[in-house]
Every structure is written in structure tokens, then in C-alpha cells.
Amino acid sequence: MKKILAVLALASALIFPAFVQAQQTQAAPGTRKVIIDQDAAGPGGSDMQAILSLVQSPETDVLGITVVSGDAWLAEEVQHTLRLMEIIGRTDIPVVPGAAFPLVNTKEHMARWETMHGKIVYQGAWNFAAGHAVHGPWEIPPMPEGAPTTKAAGEDAAHFLIRMVHKYPHEVTIYEGGPMTNLALAQAIDPEFASLAKELIVMGSSLNPQTDDPEFTLTPSREFNLWMDPEASSRVLHSAWVRVVVTTVDISIKTQMTKDLIAEIAKGQYPAAQYTAKYAQPGYLWDELAAVAWLDPAIITKTHKVYMDVSTDHGASYGDTLVWTDATRPHLGEREVEIQDDLDAQKFYREFAELMTRPTPKTHDAK
């Protein structure tokens, strides 16, 4: 009997490598509940690839995708996300619109700030648009992947987040790949929100990135996601999470979506792989690393813990990451977070490519 099992295991290992991967982390299919909070610029790119990583995993039960302005404006991001769900056949996953604007920060304020403190190269929706001109928050430029026919949820992101953590207390992972506006709103409406979640997974912050790229070395504490809505970041980093894991600029820039990796994904036959390969650009795998490292923590080879906040002072450091040790922290409710320091890059690329190229899992029961 044991021999037969071994043969079966070997056979399945040869046929379904991704399935074996899932077995190794010992999560039953469709059991890891997650809400994806994302500034979902598209088509393709880091934001969409992070969403795909979590949806493509057979381990996850994606309760919904809550969208927030960041890399692009909310309205267009919702459309790109809906269209992606149509393409991969997962229109059962609710796409829930969140905040169109940060709590306090504005594009106009930041323009004045720059005259005092210097230019900020990347400002997401405020100064950058891929393939078309920078535009207003409600305009939706033509979509290369086609416009969606499905509609966004009627609920708003904050209330959806609150409803889900109450429905599944201590079971829901909140994955955050964009500015923290939606999470801050949820926390403001319901102070129990953070403590009812299982954990918070963040792509954000910058500690001391080792690179020659001046975008990161001239302002080593500035990172876009936390910077765009500093007040939201600070609120979320003072909330009573059970656990917070942070993927920083420091580790993200150790990854690259190379042409080879794109070519590898292009070999995939399923719609997810074809979509990813068609719209992918070489660049850092910011949000994908946060997502895939949550699926398989063995990708991360080194971590350390710090206390983290974001500067909400309207000075030169507005939006910058603040970190302390236990000995130096101010004790104003700042949270201890787990910082990812280093990774097994080859393992990450392999698992990311597997996720992008595997068949999209079917709808799970019992939503």
C-alpha cells in the first residue's frame, strides 16, 4: 500500500508540480482566506501580477479584491481588475471599489511641497500613466485588453473588509499592495477591524535600499505606497494587528521581471499566462514578492523585526518610513512588524512562473 502511494505521489509530482508545492506547505485547497487590497493599474504589471499570484494559487480562498487609487486612479483600476477576472474566468470574485483619494494628501498639495523640498519622481496616478496621458480620476482611457461587461460590487471596500473579518474572525489575511486608505477607513469605522483579521501582509516602506538607482538612494526612506497616503499608513501601522509582514523596497529591488521570465510565462497555455506575458514589462516584482512569499514563506531566507510608522509631519519627511528598535521607540502605539531582508530569488521566480502558468482554480464553495 505504501508503495502504491509512493508511486502515485511520484506520478502526481511529475504531472502537477504546483499541486505538490501546495502539499508541501500543507494547506488544504481553497482554505487560506485572503482579501486583496490593491492599487490595480493595468493591464498586466506588478499590481495585476500580484492579484493573479493570489487568485491562481489553489490554496487560497480570495474573498474579494478591494481597489484603491495609487499607481492609477480607482475608476480605471476597477475596470482593469474586472476585465482580468473575466479573462481568467473568475467573475465570482467580487471587485470592490474603495477610496479614490488619500485621506489628506492631494496632488495639488504635493505640487507645492515639491517647490520646498524637491521633485518626487514617481507619484502614481498623479504624474504617471502607461501608454496614455496623465488624466483625471474619473476618466477611463481605452483598455487594450478590452472593456469588461461585468460590474463592480455595490458595497464599498471599507465595509466589505469589516464585514468579512466579522464573518470569518481571525481567519482572513489582508494583503495590501497599494496605499492603505481602504484599511485606514475600515479601522476608523470599526476599531475591531485589525484585531479580527488573521494578519496583514504589506508591500510598502523603505529602510535603506542598497542600489545605485537614485530614485531610491537619494530618499532612502520614501516608498510610494506608504507615501501617497501617509495618514492612512500611520493609522494602519498603529492598529492592533496580530501579525504584520512587510515587503520593503530594500528586498523588492533584489527581484526582476526579466525578459527570460516573461518568455517562460509566455509558454503557458492558459489565459492567465497569456494575459501576463502579453502585458508584462521588465521591472521589479514589488507586489508579487509580497504575495508569493505569503503563499510560501520559505522564499524568504532572512527577516528581522522593527517598530514602524510613517511620518505625517508636513515637512521634508512627509510620508517617509520611520523605524525603531524596542529600545528607541516612542511607545505611541506603533506596531512591531516583520521585515523581509533576503530571499531565495530562484525559488521565487520558479514559484511565480508556476502560479502564472497553471490553470486558474475553479470557484470555491461556501462564499
Partner 1 sequence: MSALSSRRPTQRIPAFFIFRIARSRRLSNITSFKLLSLLGIFVFLAMPCTAQSLRKVIVDQDARGPATTDQQSILMFLQAPNVETLGITIVSGDMWRDEEVAHTLRMLELTGHTDIPVVPGAIYPLINRMEVIERWETLYGKVHYQGAWNGHKPGMNLGEGLRGKYHQPDVVPDLAEGNPTIKPSTEDAAHFIIRMVHKYPHQVTIYAGGPLTNIAQAISIDPQVSELAQELVVMGGALAAIYPAGPPTELRREFNFWWDPESVHMTLTAPWHKITITTVDISIKTRMTKAYLAELAKIQTPAAQYVAKYGDEEFMWDELAVAGWLDPGVITKESRYFMDIDISHTANYGNVLLWDKTDRPGLGEQLVNLPEDLDREAFYQMFLNLMARPSPAHSPSAPH
**What are the residues binding partner 1 (CB under 8 A)?**
41, 45-47, 71, 114-122, 124, 128, 130, 177-178, 203-204, 207-208, 210, 213-221, 223-225, 249, 252-253, 281-284, 286-287, 306, 311, 313-317, 320, 322-325, 327-330, 332
Q: Which residue has the cell 496623465?
A: 134
Q: Determine the Cα–Cα distance for residues 71 and 68; give it in Å rounded to an integer.
A: 9
Choose between 241 and 318: whose C-beta lies nearer to partner 1: 318
Under a CB-based contact definition with an 8 Å cutoff, are residues 150 and 86 in contact?
Answer: yes
Give least dist CB 14 to partner 1, A: 36
Q: Say if residues 64 and 132 touch (Cβ distance below 8 Å).
A: no
Q: At closest approach, how far in Å is the CB of 207 from partner 1?
A: 6
Q: Under a CB-based contact definition with an 8 Å cutoff, are residues 124 and 224 in contact?
A: yes
Closest to partner 1 by CB, 21 vs 311, is 311
Shortest CA distance to 48 belongs to which of 261, 257, 280?
280
- CB nearer to partner 1: give 88 or 249: 249
Work out how close the CB of 355 gets to partner 1 at its nearest, in angstroms, rounded to a whole number. 19
Q: Rounded to an integer, what distance in angstroms lies between the CA atom of residue 353 and that of residue 277?
A: 11
C-beta closer to partner 1: residue 187 or 221: 221
CB of residue 92 to partner 1, shortest distance in Å: 28
Q: Return the number of the residue (21 or 49) whose C-beta is nearest partner 1.
A: 49
* Least Cβ distance, residue 252 to partner 1 (angstroms): 7
C-beta closer to partner 1: residue 92 or 114: 114
185 Cβ neighbours under 8 A, 6+ residues apart: 98, 99, 103, 157, 158, 232
The distance of closest approach from Cβ of residue 123 to partner 1 in the complex, given in angstroms and rounded to an integer, is 9
Cα 356 to Cα 265: distance, rounded to the nearest angstrom: 7
Cα 250 to Cα 340: distance, rounded to the nearest angstrom: 9
